[in-house]
């Protein structure tokens, strides 16, 4: 961090801060004393320098440069300090920042709602509610579905991640740490996610009879089919980067429709063009009633949206969030959508994603411990096993690989599920960056095994 930014902190009342305190250990210790939570392990990651970054390069406060393949966990659509984005942001610096989006009308949020409705599947009449997080984008859909129906029970999957607040947490089931001890906000019928590498029904995807869909039929028979909505991630992200086969997603959709319920695609991580389609569910040929988006929609700022069938809510004030769709953030989101269209990013994401998969599959051929490589577009996961034959989960190895990747190879990456890692890079990643990332990842695996 340069002197200017150190001085800014001093001017904010922190006279104890100087270039001498710019060490990862110092700030990690200080953070641990002040912050209640960090979701990623402090023994793996350094303290990020909030004043530096460029594209897919991020820095810790000791000045170490990393190649980032997390994209801020799918948030930074165009990476860090993307010049066209910064230029547009500067051009709207005189726009007012705080106009409560759900209390009064303003032009940017109306236009954004129109755009967002257009980029989500289905030509039916939609409405949009803006939010400041992914979990709330999920909850906006859940509340709307309950408001439009007299039913209250949901179908969700295991694993699944839909956020850590209230109703969204009730749908989440990817890590006991998120759930244990907290009461269930809504009633959930839980069925296994279509996870073909570890099919809970012992089937092979090519020859199966969609036993997972039959599992949902059976669950509704024995638990009751008075469900309001099935909520599904089109690619299970946090739970282990699992790509379901289209036929299973279609099957879950059909069963949901047969019992007169809504179907929702939680696109918070996989949406916004990451997979080469605006919504990842389009890869499965299903048109959901509800869609939640967030993360890349704000390009780094908190912006989410719940999209559902009109009228969404039975009356005014049935739902609200003060800090939603502020004018500046709405304009930025509009710019992101337009820039993605003008720059052909959907196509680029599909192509670069295919290249990333190809390169990672080389590692699958090379290492016995790389059990599976799966993904669509720029959402790709690698699952580690003790051996390809037994498929026993290699949890410790995964931890060592991520640690080695970050600390030794300077590859900023995170895990998913119990024994997987995920690649959700920014859309500006190049083939050269991908080669570099895979080479570093290769070294991390090799060194973690020896």
Ligand X SMILES: Cc1ncc(COP(=O)(O)O)c(C=O)c1O
- Least Cβ distance, residue 101 to ligand X (angstroms): 17
- Least Cβ distance, residue 114 to ligand X (angstroms): 23
When CB distances to ligand X are compared, the closest residue is: 134
- Least Cβ distance, residue 262 to ligand X (angstroms): 17
Other C-beta atoms lying within 10 Å of the C-beta of residue 37: 5
- Least Cβ distance, residue 270 to ligand X (angstroms): 7
- Least Cβ distance, residue 449 to ligand X (angstroms): 30
296 vs 373 by CB, closer to ligand X: 296
How far is residue 410 from each of residues 70, 94, 428, 446, measured CA to CA in Å? 13, 39, 19, 15
DSSP codes, 237-297:
-TTT-B---HHHHHHHHHHHHHTT-EEEEE-TTTTTTTTSSSSGGGGGT---SEEEE-GGG
- Least Cβ distance, residue 293 to ligand X (angstroms): 10
Q: What's the half-sphere exposure (Cβ side, CA atoms, 13 Å) at 370?
A: 22
* Whole-angstrom distance, CA of residue 371 vs CA of residue 377: 20
Contact 243, 205 (CB under 8 A): no
- Least Cβ distance, residue 268 to ligand X (angstroms): 3
Q: Which residues of this protein are in contact with ligand X, per CB under 6 A?
A: 133-135, 138, 161-163, 233, 237-238, 266, 268-269, 294
Handedness of CA 179, 184, 185, 190 (dihedral sign): positive
DSSP codes, 398-415:
HHHHHHHHHHTS-EE-EE
237 vs 425 by CB, closer to ligand X: 237
79 vs 298 by CB, closer to ligand X: 298
24 vs 175 by CB, closer to ligand X: 175
304 vs 359 by CB, closer to ligand X: 304
- Least Cβ distance, residue 161 to ligand X (angstroms): 5
60 vs 233 by CB, closer to ligand X: 233
> How, if at all, do strands 227-232 and 414-416 pair?
unpaired
Residue 308, SS3 per DSSP: strand
Six-digit token pair at 14? 């922190």
61 vs 281 by CB, closer to ligand X: 281
- Backbone angles phi and psi of 94, in degrees to 5: -90, 0
163 vs 244 by CB, closer to ligand X: 163
Six-digit token pair at 20? 């001498």
Contact 304, 137 (CB under 8 A): yes
- Least Cβ distance, residue 419 to ligand X (angstroms): 18
How far is residue 320 from each of residues 129, 143, 215, measured CA to CA in Å? 8, 11, 36
Contact 379, 235 (CB under 8 A): yes
228 vs 235 by CB, closer to ligand X: 235
- Least Cβ distance, residue 82 to ligand X (angstroms): 21
Contact 255, 220 (CB under 8 A): yes
Please give the distance of CA 308 from its chain centroid, rounded to a whole number: 20
266 vs 289 by CB, closer to ligand X: 266
Cα R_g (the chain), whole angstroms: 22
């Amino acid at each position: 961090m340069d002197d200017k930014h150190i001085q800014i902190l001093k001017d904010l009342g922190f006279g104890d801060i100087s270039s001498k305190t710019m060490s990862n250990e110092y700030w990690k210790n200080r953070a641990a004393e002040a912050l209640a939570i960090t979701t990623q392990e402090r023994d793996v990651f350094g303290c990020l320098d909030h004043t530096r970054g460029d594209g897919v390069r991020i820095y810790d406060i000791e000045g170490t440069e990393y190649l980032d393949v997390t994209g801020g966990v799918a948030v930074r659509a165009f990476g860090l300090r993307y010049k066209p984005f910064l230029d547009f942001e500067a051009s709207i610096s005189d726009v007012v920042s705080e106009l409560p989006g759900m209390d009064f009308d303003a032009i940017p949020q109306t236009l954004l709602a129109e755009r967002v409705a257009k980029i989500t599947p289905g030509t039916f009449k939609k409405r949009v509610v803006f939010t400041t997080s992914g979990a709330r984008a999920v909850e906006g859909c859940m509340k709307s579905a309950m408001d439009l129906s007299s039913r209250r029970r949901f179908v969700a999957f295991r694993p699944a991640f839909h956020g850590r607040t209230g109703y969204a947490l009730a749908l989440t089931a990817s890590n006991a740490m998120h759930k244990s001890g907290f009461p269930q906000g809504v009633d959930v019928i839980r069925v296994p996610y279509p996870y073909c590498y570890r099919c809970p029904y012992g089937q092979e995807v090519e020859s199966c009879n969609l036993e997972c869909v039959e599992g949902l039929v059976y669950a509704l028979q024995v638990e009751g089919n008075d469900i309001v909505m099935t909520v599904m991630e089109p690619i299970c992200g946090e739970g282990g980067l699992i790509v379901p086969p289209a036929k299973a997603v279609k099957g879950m959709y059909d069963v949901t429709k047969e019992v007169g319920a809504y179907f929702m695609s939680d696109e918070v991580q996989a949406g916004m063009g990451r997979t080469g389609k605006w919504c990842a569910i389009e890869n499965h040929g299903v048109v959901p009633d509800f869609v939640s988006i967030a993360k890349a929609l704000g390009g780094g700022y908190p912006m989410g949206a719940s999209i559902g069938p009109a009228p969404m809510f039975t009356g005014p004030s049935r739902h609200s969030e003060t800090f939603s769709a502020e004018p500046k953030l709405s304009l930025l989101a509009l710019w992101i959508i337009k820039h993605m269209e003008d720059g052909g990013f959907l196509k680029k994401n599909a192509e670069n994603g295919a290249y990333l998969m190809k390169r990672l599959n080389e590692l699958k051929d090379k290492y016995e411990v790389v059990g599976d490589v799966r993904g669509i577009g720029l959402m790709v996961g690698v699952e580690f096993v003790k051996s390809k034959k037994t498929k026993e989960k290699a949890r410790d190895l995964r931890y060592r690989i991520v640690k080695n990747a970050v600390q030794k190879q300077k590859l900023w990456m995170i895990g998913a599920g119990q024994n997987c890692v995920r690649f959700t890079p920014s859309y500006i990643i190049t083939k050269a960056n991908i080669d570099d990332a895979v080479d570093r990842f290769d070294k991390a695996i090799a060194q973690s095994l020896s």
